[in-house]
DNA sequence: TTATATAGTTAGATTAATCTAACAAAATAA
DNA sequence: TTATTTTGTTAGATTAATCTAACTATATAA
């Protein structure tokens, strides 16, 4: 059984060594310490312990990576985190930005029955409120083709999960069009010439550029 | 902010010093250590710390009791415990006996928003699956008149929450009548002479003695 | 290719929660 | 009222997770 702290280190390592997230497959001590808000000395001690437990591969002055076992454990924590986020958002009316902090605590609750029942209760969701894939009980993560609005065919309706560009000017534009997290967007038409599209959000129609549509991730 | 351990000590003290539960208003070190599965030396150390924090009244070789502040904190933990038990039982299909262990972990999650939203989601329940009152956000505990089946008027329907007598022979009888936790019981008639009553459980009628009815707590 | 900067490690200390073993006080019983 | 039992306390150790300060290795840049 892993301690909360050990679980947090594994989770951080998973993100740091995941090509999709960080673009690298190995992490360093300082980098790890930075993401966990501890001093490098502290992280170093934990690395020794995790190596001892065969959860990471690591040699003195070398790079760090997760062993298959370590990766499995990390994914289980991530699974729990994302299921709890979904619960908080969908059932308890938490907002998008409030879910993370509480899920950081809930992810450490030990009970496989709990997490299976929770998943069932939520009707086996594929992604959390941020649009990140929820691994299944076996730890398999569906490669979620995070589509942009540009890729949605005419006539189809989709749901906004997150934005690529987080700049204030872009976000203000997003709000102006009537969009928010989880907004349903219907693609009414698209010009072949420049990709300009007409969309409908809660009955309100707007015309948006391809550049705009490229910056919206939808599910 | 209290640690998980401190919260557990306060909760144990609340139960040990609650007249209704233990019949006493003060607790001893050994007794406390026993309920928490630690050695008396360990409990003694914690008592010093809790006294320092003004959560208990306690003098060397004396009896222990909660201060008003300590009691408030204990009640908040109990509130969380019971709301989580209710959630597990009602929403996640946990059985009566499975809820406690997981709730022991969930009760330590820190987020007042979480617990308020959870309470709302559960529709402000008055009691947990064991029939114990859930304190409100202010820490007030409604004195739940834990009625026995004997006290239910003819024609009314009630819900079984727990039993007074836990003997195998009694429980077998309970099952035979078609009763389980949360069973709805309708009181069809009652004899003034000896209190014998006719009840209906899921369409099935049975005749039971007053002694039997005295042993069933209902809500 | 040597000097400097960055990254990583070690040693020694601290805090929280626990333990064992030895001791002290209080309660009970002869 | 003394002896015994029960209850409670202290001292000293241990483990997990953290720190600071000092040190070492590796990488980079002049």
pLDDT tens, position by position, A111-152: 999 999 999 999 999 999 888 999 999 999 887 677 888 989
A64 closest-nt by C1' vs CA: C8
A99 pLDDT band, cuts 50/70/90, is very high
**Cα B1 from chain centre:** 25
Q: What's residue A137's pLDDT?
A: 96
Q: What is the mean pLDDT of chain B?
A: 91
Nearest 5 degrees, angle CA A201-CA A207-CA A209? Answer: 115
Tell me which of A109, A110, A116, A119 to substitute to probe the interface with B (most B C-beta atoms closer than 10 Å).
A109
C-alpha span between A174 and A180 (Å, rounded): 8
Q: Is the pLDDT of residue B178 over 70?
A: yes
Angle between helix A4-16 and A40-52 (nearest 10): 100
B175 pLDDT band, cuts 50/70/90, is confident
Q: Does any CB of chain A come closer than 8 Å to the CB of residue B199? A: no
Q: Where are the alpha helices (DSSP H) in chain B?
A: 4-16, 19-22, 29-36, 40-52, 68-90, 99-106, 112-121, 168-176, 210-214
Q: Is the pLDDT of residue A167 over 80?
A: no
Rounded to an integer, the average pLDDT of B48-56 is 96
CB within 8 Å of B147: residues ≥ 6 apart: B158, B217, B218, B219
A88 Cα to chain B: minimum distance (Å): 8
Q: Is the pLDDT of residue A168 over 80?
A: no
B36 closest-nt by C1' vs CA: C18
Chain B contacts of A102, Cβ < 8 Å? Answer: 109, 111, 113-114
Q: What is the CA radius of gyration of chain A?
A: 20
Q: What's residue B155's pLDDT?
A: 85
Q: Do the chains contact at B109 and A121, CB–CB below 8 Å?
A: no
Give the SS3 label for residue A174. Answer: helix
Q: Is the pLDDT of residue B12 over 70?
A: yes
Q: Is the pLDDT of residue B168 over 90?
A: no
pLDDT tens, position by position, B55-103: 999 999 999 999 999 999 999 999 999 999 999 999 999 988 899 999 9
DSSP string for A144-158: ---EEGGGSPTT-EE
DSSP string for B152-209: SPTT-EEEEEEES---HHHHHHHHHTT--TT-EEEEEEE-TTT--EEEEETTEEEEE-
pLDDT tens, position by position, A14-48: 999 998 777 788 999 999 999 999 999 999 999 99
What token pair was written down for A205?
């129609």
Q: Is the pLDDT of residue A166 over 70?
A: no
Higher confidence at residue A172 or residue A38?
A38
Q: Does any CB of chain A come closer than 8 Å to the CB of residue B117? A: yes
Q: What's residue A160's pLDDT?
A: 84
Q: Which nucleotides of C are covered by protein (CB under 7 A)?
A: 7-12, 16-22, 25-26
Rounded to an integer, the average pLDDT of A86-105 is 94
Chain B contacts of A117, Cβ < 8 Å? Answer: 88, 92-94
- Measuring CA to CA, how many Å separate B130 from each of A90, A91, B7, B125? 28, 24, 21, 12
Tell me which of A4, A87, A104, A114 to substitute to probe the interface with B (most B C-beta atoms closer than 10 Å).
A114
Q: What's residue A87's pLDDT?
A: 98
Interface A:B, Cβ pairs < 8 A: 41
Percent share of chain A, pLDDT over 90: 60
B166 pLDDT band, cuts 50/70/90, is low
Rounded to an integer, the average pLDDT of B21-48 is 94
Percent share of chain A, pLDDT over 70: 98
Q: What's residue A162's pLDDT?
A: 79
Q: Does any CB of chain A come closer than 8 Å to the CB of residue B106? A: yes
Strand partners, A204: A201
Chain A contacts of B121, Cβ < 8 Å? Answer: 91-92
Q: Is the pLDDT of residue A180 over 80?
A: no
Question: What pairing do the DSSP bridges indicate for beta strands A204-208 and A197-201?
Answer: antiparallel
Higher confidence at residue B118 or residue B172?
B118
Q: Is the pLDDT of residue B4 over 80?
A: yes
- Measuring CA to CA, how many Å separate A198 from each of A148, A151, A219, B191? 15, 14, 18, 76
Closest Cβ opposite residue A91 in set B93, B102, B121: B121
Percent share of chain B, pLDDT over 90: 60
């Amino acid at each position: 059984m892993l301690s909360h702290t050990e679980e947090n280190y594994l989770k951080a390592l998973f993100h740091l060594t995941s090509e999709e997230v960080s673009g690298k497959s190995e992490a360093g001590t300082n980098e790890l310490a930075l993401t966990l808000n501890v001093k490098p000395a502290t992280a170093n001690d934990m690395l020794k312990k995790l190596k001892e437990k065969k959860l990471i591969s690591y040699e003195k002055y070398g790079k760090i990576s997760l062993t298959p076992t370590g990766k499995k454990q990390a994914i289980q924590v991530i699974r729990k985190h994302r299921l709890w986020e979904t619960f908080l958002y969908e059932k308890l009316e938490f907002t998008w930005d409030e879910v993370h902090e509480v899920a950081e605590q809930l992810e450490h609750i030990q009970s496989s029955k709990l997490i299976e029942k929770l998943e069932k209760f939520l009707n086996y969701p594929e992604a959390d409120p941020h649009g990140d894939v929820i691994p299944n009980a076996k730890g398999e993560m569906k490669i979620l083709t995070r589509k942009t609005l540009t890729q949605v065919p005419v006539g189809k309706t989709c749901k906004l999960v997150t934005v690529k560009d987080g700049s204030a000017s872009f976000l203000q534009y997003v709000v102006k069009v009537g969009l928010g997290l989880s907004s349903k967007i219907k693609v009414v038409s698209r010009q072949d010439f420049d990709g300009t599209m007409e969309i409908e959000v809660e009955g309100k129609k707007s015309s948006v550029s391809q550049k705009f549509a490229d910056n919206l991730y939808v599910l």
